[in-house]
Amino acid sequence: MIARATLGALQSILGEARCRTDPATCLAYSYDNSRLNHRPDAVVFPEETLEIAAIVACAAKDRIPLVARGLGSNTTGSCVPILGGVILSTERMRAIREFSPEDRLMVVEPGLLNDEVQEAASAKGLFWPPDPSSSSHSTVGGNIATNAGGPRAVRYGTTRDHVLGLLAVDGRGRVFRCGVRTPKSAVGYDLTRLLVGSEGTLAVIAEATLHLVAAPSARLTYRAIYGSYANAIRAISAILNHSPSPSAVEFLDERALALIRSEIPGIPAQAQALLLIELEQNQPFTPTEMEHFEAALDPGGLLGLERAEGDDARTRLWKARKSLSPALRRLASGKINEDVVVPLSRLASLIESVAAIGARQETTVVTFGHAGSGNLHVNLLFDADDPEAIARAGSALREVFATVLDLGGALSGEHGIGLSKLPFMTDQIDPVTLDLMGDLKRLFDPKGILNPGKLLPPGV
């Protein structure tokens, strides 16, 4: 519990209206999309950087756990306050502080939504490449905290590649600025890239300078349906080496297809895989370009192909894909949602292995995601009221992670580690590297108050 004196200090910084301890507010901020939960002792709502600094300094003085969060769309328990303490919500910090189209940058507060960034940028023919499926309720701060990327990573890279600089507050309450306003820099250590993906364990983000890119003048979206995983994977290999190269390549397995059949009329009963592909360039696509690309999409076993050119048609094709993750809740009361990533050459092995693991462990597995960057969402579904089903899902998860690492992959491509993947960190990261990560944590946050119990295993 927070001492009365500490609570009084927080209320003096923010006022009682923005420092809440009532049960309803604490319950609302006790969980994220992982469904893990633990109630905080208080929730605070800063509106400016100096307020964040004062809150952190206050928490550091009394060693109160402090967890920064946006709107809680992450799926790993990353913003669940497992030790209680204070939730610092950035949801009231939603301003665009600067927009410089000629420099292709935008300076924003952390609570601004991804979609709000895109709307403002599009008015000047620009966009911010990170595009998670939760973009309508995903904050910039949350994107940065987990290095979330989305489908465009195959062409543009992840969030880390499109953040020029940050204004942040360390675990002592010190405000610092890192990064630049230019596309290139060779000055000192790159603290900006270090903070991206650190899940709020090193600092609280107060402002971000985003790197924007020119919006392409021509876009095509294809939906291709295949009779086997093997044919879909062969098509992925063909189009990634094609010109024009795709900006997004999404894969859906047969169980994912079953979930969205009602939204996609005409999917053949024998369909086992679907690819959703987006092409972009700065001049209209010629008939010859389209013909050659469509030929590459058919290495054999192609059951159907649809091309969408207008915005409305493209939105319709993407809508079903973006609805998949929440739709999984209809299949089972329990869901483990992992976002593993492997080298592209091992993608087929991953898909086949995951299907075999599900069959062996009697656990329903639904696989979809960003195949163009080797990043797939492997969803393990089970009855949350059945202890044996829970145990089988846990065994399946361990097998999935072991398989991913054997294939030269990583435990997470964009969701982060949080709580759910913490027990597996030592499987991927060697002891010396973990020690260095621990040293960094202690340097930025000497009292260990920032999002404790996340990302780094106990004792590191």
Whether pLDDT at 149 is above 90: no
Taking the CA atoms of residue 92, residue 93, residue 97 and residue 103 in that order, the dihedral angle to the nearest 10 degrees is -120
CA torsion sign, 257 to 258 to 261 to 263? Answer: negative
259 contacts 324 by C-beta, under 8 angstroms: yes
Whether pLDDT at 429 is above 90: yes
**Rounded distance, CA 137 to CA 134, Å?**
6
pLDDT at 232: 94
Give the contacts of 114 (CB within 8 A, at least 6 positions apart).
128, 130, 131, 132, 134, 135, 136, 138, 139, 140, 143
* DSSP states along 265-298: TT--TT--EEEEEEEEESSPPPHHHHHHHHHHT-
pLDDT at 446: 98
Q: Where in the chain is the domain with CATH 3.30.43.10?
A: 4-89
Among 78-87, 238-247, 353-362, the minimum mean pLDDT is found in: 238-247
pLDDT digits 0-9 by tens, 32-74: 988 899 999 999 999 999 999 999 999 999 999 999 999 999 9
Total count of residues recorded for the chain: 460
**Rounded distance, CA 32 to CA 87, Å?**
12
Write the CA distances from 138 to 36, 89, 115, 256, integer angstroms.
18, 13, 8, 23
Averaged pLDDT of the chain: 93
Tokens 């920064």 — which residue? Answer: 68
The DSSP code for 1 is: -
Say how far residue 301 (Cα) sits from the centre of its chain. Answer: 32
Among 120-134, 194-208, 257-271, the minimum mean pLDDT is found in: 257-271
pLDDT at 1: 78
Reported as a pLDDT band with limits 50, 70 and 90, residue 244 is: confident
**Rounded distance, CA 451 to CA 334, Å?**
26
Whether pLDDT at 417 is above 80: yes
pLDDT at 146: 94
Neighbours of 345 (CB within 10 A): 11
Find the angle CA(452)-CA(458)-CA(460) to the nearest 5 degrees: 95
Yes or no: domain 325-423 corresponds to CATH 3.30.70.2740 = yes
- CA atoms lying within 13 Å on the CB side of residue 162: 30
Domain 218-319, CATH = 3.30.70.2190
Reported as a pLDDT band with limits 50, 70 and 90, residue 269 is: confident
Q: Between β-strands 86-89 and 42-44, what pairing exists: parallel, antiparallel or unpaired?
A: parallel
pLDDT at 323: 73
pLDDT digits 0-9 by tens, 312-321: 888 887 877 7
55 contacts 10 by C-beta, under 8 angstroms: yes
Share of the chain above pLDDT 90, in %: 81
Reported as a pLDDT band with limits 50, 70 and 90, residue 30 is: very high
Q: Where in the chain is the domain with CATH 3.30.70.2190?
A: 218-319
The DSSP code for 450 is: B
Domain 96-214, CATH = 3.30.465.10
Helix (H) or strand (E) holding 389: helix 387-406
pLDDT digits 0-9 by tens, 150-204: 889 999 999 999 999 999 999 999 999 999 999 889 999 999 999 999 999 999 9
First to last CA, the chain: 25
Q: Where in the chain is the domain with CATH 3.30.465.10?
A: 96-214
- CA atoms lying within 13 Å on the CB side of residue 53: 11
Write the CA distances from 326 to 19, 34, 55, 145, 372, integer angstroms.
32, 12, 35, 22, 22
Q: What is the 3-state secondary structure (H, E, C) of 90-128?
A: CCCCCCEEEEEHHHCEEEECCCCEHHHHHHHHHCCCEEC
143 dihedral zone (left: phi>0; alpha: psi -120 to 50; beta): alpha
Tokens in use for 209? 């300078």
Tokens 């959703």 — which residue? Answer: 276
Among 172-181, 336-345, 426-435, 440-449, the minimum mean pLDDT is found in: 336-345
Architecture (CATH level 2) of domain 4-89: 2-Layer Sandwich (3.30)
pLDDT at 13: 96
pLDDT at 133: 77
Among 173-182, 252-261, 321-330, the minimum mean pLDDT is found in: 321-330
Whether pLDDT at 131 is above 90: no
Reported as a pLDDT band with limits 50, 70 and 90, residue 331 is: confident
Q: Where in the chain is the domain with CATH 3.30.70.2740?
A: 325-423
**Rounded distance, CA 246 to CA 152, Å?**
9
**Rounded distance, CA 353 to CA 384, Å?**
24
Neighbours of 23 (CB within 10 A): 9
